[in-house]
Amino acid sequence: MSGRTMVITGASNGIGAEAARQLAARDEKVVLVGRNPQRTADVARPIGADYFLADFNHLDQVRELARQLDERYERIDVLINNAGASAPRRRVTADGYEQDFQVNYLAPFLLTNLLMPRLALSQAAIITTASVGHRFARLDLDDLQLEKGWGVLRAYANSKLLDILFTHQLQRRFGDLGINAISFHPGVVASGFAHDVGGWLGWWYRSRLGGLLMTKPAAAAENLVILAEGTPGEDWEPGAYYAGRTRGRTTAQARNRRLAERVWSLTAELLDIEA
């Protein structure tokens, strides 16, 4: 199949930008979402792609993005929730949420749910960028904002565990409507990610050794492209977590259905959307 409409968030650099280029070269209709106006335009224009601007630090911009996408496109065949960040210190957004929690989890949760009527009509695939780093998560439902015990790795890991739980619930809730959702670990990628954080994590991403050993964005994007163009149920299993092109192993928390259901309800309550 070709010519499908594929929306990619976090598409102004790194994996998102590379995936957009590769998908456009395969004659898919690519729609880019980025935060930085110049960088997003620089990726979109050479491949003839539409683009929209939204900063996931501001949930009103996510709501406006959903409105614009729904108004503009009759179909959204693939939604790739790729935007993400790792804050160098605990930051609270203008909406009042810890930054990693909002950017990596709340924003894609909100965008996906607001677009769900369009996605269901299109029987869309939803691919959310997670991470093997979810193994380091220590999730406390009474302290999702990490007001106690915040750390760079824990904040990021928690958000990526939440993305995996989100994917499981998407499949359980909307699979009967034709939705097919997976979460995806792209690898440890040599991009601009985490360059401003401290500790060993920031050192690794900034170091020459890390650059030599990490996966290049183009290679990681190839795996994402294969999943985006794949046929659910044949090329990949709906509801599953993938590491590269193959199904990956997750923690017991990531497989906990009761936890996924509870997190979904709490998140819907936070965002004031139907649970």
Q: At what angle do helices 59-72 and 107-114 cross, to 10 degrees?
A: 30
As a whole number of angstroms, the distance between CA 194 and CA 192 comes to 7
Query: Which has the closest alpha carbon to 57: 11, 104, 114?
Result: 104
DSSP code of residue 103: I
Q: Given the residues 156, 205, 241, 242, select the one marked as catalytic.
A: 156
Residue 115, helix vs strand vs coil: coil
Q: Which residues make beta-bridge pairs with 50?
A: 31
Residue 51 among the catalytic residues: no
Contact 223, 246 (CB under 8 A): no
Strand extents, DSSP E, the chain: 5-9, 29-34, 50-53, 78-81, 125-129, 180-185, 241-243, 246-247
As a whole number of angstroms, the distance between CA 245 and CA 222 comes to 9
- Residue 246, CB-side half-sphere exposure with 13 Å CA sphere: 2
Active-site annotation, residues? 156
